[in-house]
Amino acid sequence: MHSLLKSAGRVEPVVFAILFVAFALFLFAGPAFAGADATFDTAETTFTGFLEGSGGRIITILSLVGGIVGLASGRFSLGQIAIPVGVGVGAGTGIPIVTSTVTAVI
């Protein structure tokens, strides 16, 4: 019991220090406005273009090849056909849906 009380005395300054740092960060934080920053526009445009173009096709083809290899190995499963189809649909139509949703929300 005595050692428990001794360790509790060491924890108190650490808790106060953490609370002080959290309060200081809260006090000096600047405002953030949605849609006002264009920092990641270039990266978002590049990534979206990659997934909607050749990158999405490559991912779909690799997924299809993985499904075919699984079928050829003798263990048939509906998932080996459904997953490549889902990846293709997601790469083809999912990216524009997500992009328009994020743009509409922000």
User: How far apart (Å, rounded) are the C-alpha atoms in residues 71 and 53?
Assistant: 28
User: How far apart (Å, rounded) are the C-alpha atoms in residues 62 and 68?
Assistant: 10
The domain spans of the chain are: 1-30, 35-104
The three-state (H, E, C) secondary structure of 17-41, written as one string: HHHHHHHHHHHHCCCCCCCCCCCCH
What pLDDT sits at residue 1?
A: 46
What pLDDT sits at residue 74?
A: 75
Task: Render pLDDT for 23-81 as a digit per residue (tens, 0 to 9).
Answer: 888 888 877 666 666 777 788 788 878 877 787 788 878 888 888 887 787 777 777 77
The model carries a pTM of 0.48
Task: Render pLDDT for 90-106 as a digit per residue (tens, 0 to 9).
Answer: 777 777 777 777 665 55
Phi/psi-derived region of residue 75, left when phi > 0, alpha when psi is between -120 and 50, beta in every other case:
beta
Joined tokens for residue 57:
């096709």
Position 19 pLDDT exceeds 70: yes
Q: Catalogue the long-range contacts made by 69-74 (C-beta closer than 8 Å, 24 or more residues apart).
A: none
The lowest-confidence range among 14-18, 20-24, 71-75 is 71-75
The label of the residue with tokens 């779909």 reads 60
User: How far apart (Å, rounded) are the C-alpha atoms in residues 92 and 106?
Assistant: 23
